[in-house]
Structure 1
Amino acid sequence: MTVKTRAIFGQKLTKTDAMDLDLDVDPKECSEILEESKKIPYKMEIVWRNVALFVALHFAALIGLYELIFNAKWPTVGFVFLLYVFGGFGITAGAHRLWSHKSYKATVPMRIFLMICNNIALQNDVIEWARDHRCHHKWTDTDADPHNTRRGIFFAHMGWLLVRKHPQVKIMGAKLDMKDLEEDPVLDFQRRNYIPLVLLFCFILPTVIPVFFWNETVFIAFYTAATFRYCFTLHATWCINSAAHYIGWKPYTHSISSVENVLTTIVAVGEGGHNFHHTFPQDYRASEYSIKYNWTRGLIDLAAAVGAVYDRKTVDDLVIRRQVETHGSGMQWENSRM
Structure 2
Amino acid sequence: MVPSNQDCDEVFSEEETRLEKLVAPQAEPREYKVVYRNIIVFIYYHIAGIYGLYLGLTAAKWATVISALITYCVGAIGVTAGSHRLWSHKSYKATKPLQLFLMLCQSVSNQNSVAHWARDHRLHHKYSDTDADPHNATRGFFYSHVGWLMVRKHPEVVKRGKLLDLSDIYGNPYLKFQDTHSYWFIPVMSFLLPTIIPIYFWGETFSVAWNVNMCRYVMNLNAAFLVNSVAHMWGYKPYDKNIAPSQSRTLSVLTLGEGFHNYHHVFPWDYRSDELSSLRVNPTSMFIELCAKLGLAYDLKTASDELIEGRAKRTGDGSYLIQKEQISKRF
Check the 8 A contact 1:119/1:202 in 2, yes or no.
Answer: yes
Q: Determine the structure 2 residue equivalent to 1:197.
A: 185
Residue among 230, 233, 255 paired with 1:268: 255
Check the 8 A contact 1:30/1:142 in 2, yes or no.
Answer: no
CA distance in 2: counterparts of 1:326 and 1:317, whole angstroms: 14
Q: Determine the structure 1 residue equivalent to 2:149.
A: 161
Task: Write out aligned runs for 1:146-157 (5 A).
Answer: 146-157=134-145
Q: Determine the structure 2 residue equivalent to 1:10.
A: 2
CA distance in 1: counterparts of 2:4 and 2:164, whole angstroms: 22
Check the 8 A contact 1:23/1:138 in 2, yes or no.
Answer: no
Residue 239 (structure 2) pairs with residue 249 (structure 1) = no
**1:19, CA displacement in angstroms?**
7.0
User: Match of 2:159, SS?
Assistant: helix
Deviates more, 1:193-202 or 1:272-281: 193-202
**1:214, CA displacement in angstroms?**
1.6
**What percent identity do the matched residue pairs reach?**
41
| Unaligned segments of structure 2, at least 5 residues | none
- TM-score of the two chains, using structure 1 as the length reference: 0.89
Q: What letter corresponds to residue 230 of structure 2 in structure 1?
A: A
CA distance in 2: counterparts of 1:29 and 1:319, whole angstroms: 32
**1:30, CA displacement in angstroms?**
9.6
Q: Determine the structure 2 residue equivalent to 1:290.
A: 277
Deviates more, 1:314-323 or 1:98-107: 314-323
Note the alpha carbon deviations across 1:253-303, whole angstroms, 9 max, x for none: 101100001111011111000000001000000113436521100110110
CA distance in 2: counterparts of 1:324 and 1:204, whole angstroms: 47
User: Match of 1:146, SS?
Assistant: coil
1:97 to 1:233, Cα distance in 2 relative to 1, 3 A: same
User: Match of 1:54, SS?
Assistant: helix
**1:197, CA displacement in angstroms?**
1.6
Check the 8 A contact 1:23/1:134 in 2, yes or no.
Answer: no
**1:193, CA displacement in angstroms?**
1.6
Note the alpha carbon deviations across 1:174-213, whole angstroms, 9 max, x for none: 1111111110111111112212221221011101111112
1:127 to 1:194, Cα distance in 2 relative to 1, 3 A: same
Task: Write out aligned runs for 1:298-313 (5 A).
Answer: 298-313=286-301
CA distance in 2: counterparts of 1:22 and 1:294, whole angstroms: 27
Q: Determine the structure 2 residue equivalent to 1:6.
A: none
**1:316, CA displacement in angstroms?**
0.3
User: Match of 1:33, SS?
Assistant: coil
1:33 to 1:319, Cα distance in 2 relative to 1, 3 A: closer
Residue among 97, 119, 140 paired with 2:85: 97
Check the 8 A contact 1:247/1:259 in 2, yes or no.
Answer: yes
Deviates more, 1:319-328 or 1:269-278: 319-328
Deviates more, 1:60-69 or 1:325-334: 325-334
Q: What letter corresponds to residue 78 of structure 2 in structure 1?
A: G
Q: What letter corresponds to residue 207 of structure 1 in structure 2?
A: T
Q: Determine the structure 2 residue equivalent to 1:238.
A: 225
Q: Determine the structure 1 residue equivalent to 2:22.
A: 33
1:170 to 1:217, Cα distance in 2 relative to 1, 3 A: same
**1:319, CA displacement in angstroms?**
1.2
CA distance in 1: counterparts of 2:11 and 2:277, whole angstroms: 26
Q: Determine the structure 2 residue equivalent to 1:229.
A: 216
Residue among 135, 138, 159 paired with 2:126: 138
RMSD, aligned α-carbons: 2.3
**1:21, CA displacement in angstroms?**
3.4
Check the 8 A contact 1:273/1:288 in 2, yes or no.
Answer: no
Residue among 320, 324, 330 paired with 1:334: 324
Deviates more, 1:41-50 or 1:227-236: 41-50
Note the alpha carbon deviations across 1:39-75, whole angstroms, 9 max, x for none: x984111111111111111111111010011111111
Check the 8 A contact 1:251/1:328 in 2, yes or no.
Answer: yes
CA distance in 2: counterparts of 1:141 and 1:59, whole angstroms: 30
Q: What letter corresponds to residue 22 of structure 2 in structure 1?
A: I
Residue among 84, 91, 98 paired with 2:72: 84
Count of paired positions: 320
1:52 to 1:284, Cα distance in 2 relative to 1, 3 A: same
1:155 to 1:133, Cα distance in 2 relative to 1, 3 A: same
Q: Determine the structure 2 residue equivalent to 1:3.
A: none
Q: What letter corresponds to residue 247 of structure 1 in structure 2?
A: W
CA distance in 2: counterparts of 1:34 and 1:254, whole angstroms: 16
Check the 8 A contact 1:115/1:187 in 2, yes or no.
Answer: yes
- TM-score of the two chains, using structure 2 as the length reference: 0.91
**1:23, CA displacement in angstroms?**
6.9
Q: Determine the structure 1 residue equivalent to 2:172.
A: 184
CA distance in 2: counterparts of 1:196 and 1:320, whole angstroms: 44
CA distance in 2: counterparts of 1:280 and 1:56, whole angstroms: 38
CA distance in 2: counterparts of 1:23 and 1:153, whole angstroms: 30
1:153 to 1:336, Cα distance in 2 relative to 1, 3 A: farther
CA distance in 2: counterparts of 1:243 and 1:31, whole angstroms: 28
User: Match of 2:9, SS?
Assistant: helix
Q: What letter corresponds to residue 276 of structure 1 in structure 2?
A: Y
